[in-house]
Amino acid sequence: MKQILLGATMAFASVLAFGQENNANFKIEQAQKLPNELYQLVYNPTNNLVYVAGPQKGFNKEAENFIYVLDGKSLAIQDSISLGKYLPFAIALNNKTQTLYVGHSLQDAVSAVDLKSKKQQVISSGKAKAKIREIAVDEVRDKVYVSDHGNPSIWEIDGKTNTYLGSFDKSDAYLLGLNVDPQRGKVYGTDANTMEGSILVYNSESGNLEGQFKTWSYCPLNIALDKAGNRLFVSQSNDNNVTIVDGNTGDILQKVYLGYDSSPIGLVYDEKSKLLYTANRNKQEVAVINTDSYQVVERIATKGLPNTITLDPASRAIYVTNKGAGKKGEPVENGNTVLKINRI
């Protein structure tokens, strides 16, 4: 009976979410089309630049690949960083050391790039068939974590030397999303191996698995954190919702349904406004969720297939990558485009 009531409550909350979306409070301020495929991006608050992973079309391993560097205000291309023949997909920044970490999903490696010198250091786990998806940085410990669903594990990299230290292994997992809470000493990874859809909770110091929080949605993807409130926001692409989990207990606080075939992937939390932004791939939109009421308050059409979102915490602008083709290869207006979205 308890499960039935919980489901009814969540369904009712989801219905309310659609009935209370407000008039437009956000606008697309800038758009920048890039020549290659687009995957993840990250904003650098130190220099107001946006770094975009843009692998060559067709994932050509014999061609030179780049990170594109965009001006945070205008999105004009300022520079590019060569990665040689390493294809870039995942991306993360250590703002303290100004080191960019880039995941090469098809080449079993991560690059550490010093942003001042552009010097690239390639890091390998020494394991074949790695499939890297996400990278997260713990600036307090100067550690870097990498989700690998080819060898079910989370890599641990020493940020001081940019060398592979080892991994948190879980042989029966399918690790996709990743985030880190430095203050609480936690590393979170989403496990899509079962229909229960779990969040794995590791201790940053010991590497021990301390918990497994069930999301009860198949194939949980990315994780955003409310560090002040200790809440975890998980995008559920297959079930078209965001699941909100209590970081203390692992209890599900709410599920926000985003609509049929919305397919949320990337998401970012703005702690100042308490708004959560989700990249809804198939609906070609960014949804804005009020995390006090758990209601969708706005939907911003992207005219592209949004993938990843990053936030400028000072201006509260968000930046979004749009991929270039749908399930059947149909073109989209803002394919392979970075968008800057701001308040009106």
What does the pLDDT look like over 312-325, one tens digit per residue?
999 999 999 999 87
pLDDT of residue 21: 56
Confidence of residue 254 (pLDDT cuts 50, 70, 90): very high
How, if at all, do strands 209-214 and 198-203 pair?
antiparallel
CATH for 14 = 2.130.10.10
- Per-residue confidence (pLDDT) for residue 330, from 0 to 100: 80
Closest CA to 200 of 220, 218, 228: 220
H-run or E-run covering 166: strand 163-169
The total of other beta-carbon atoms located within 10 Å of residue 333's CB is 11
pLDDT 10s digits, 95-150 = 999 999 999 999 999 999 999 999 999 999 999 899 999 999 999 999 999 999 99
Query: 191 - beta bridge partners?
Result: 175, 198
23 pLDDT band, cuts 50/70/90, is: confident
The chain-wide mean pLDDT, for the chain, equals 93
Domain count, the chain: 1
Whose tokens are 């430095």? That residue is: 182
Q: Which domain holds residue 25?
A: 2-343
Q: What is the pTM of this model?
A: 0.93
pLDDT tens digit sequence for 188-245: 999 999 999 999 999 999 999 999 999 999 999 999 999 999 999 999 999 999 999 9
Higher pLDDT among residues 294 and 17, named by residue: 294
Residue 328 reports pLDDT greater than 90: no
What CA–CA distance (Å, rounded) separates 309 from 49?
14
* All residues at 6 or more sequence positions from 323 whose CB lies less than 8 Å from its CB, including other chains: 37, 38, 39, 281, 304, 305, 306, 307, 335, 336
Residue 86 DSSP class: P
CA–CA distances in Å: residue 321 to residues 122, 181, 257: 25, 25, 22
pLDDT (average), residues 154-169: 98
Burial of 249 (0-12, 13-18, 19+ CB in 10 A): exposed
Q: Please report, rounded to a whole number, the percentage of residues in the chain having pLDDT higher than 90.
A: 88
First-residue to last-residue Cα distance in the chain: 46
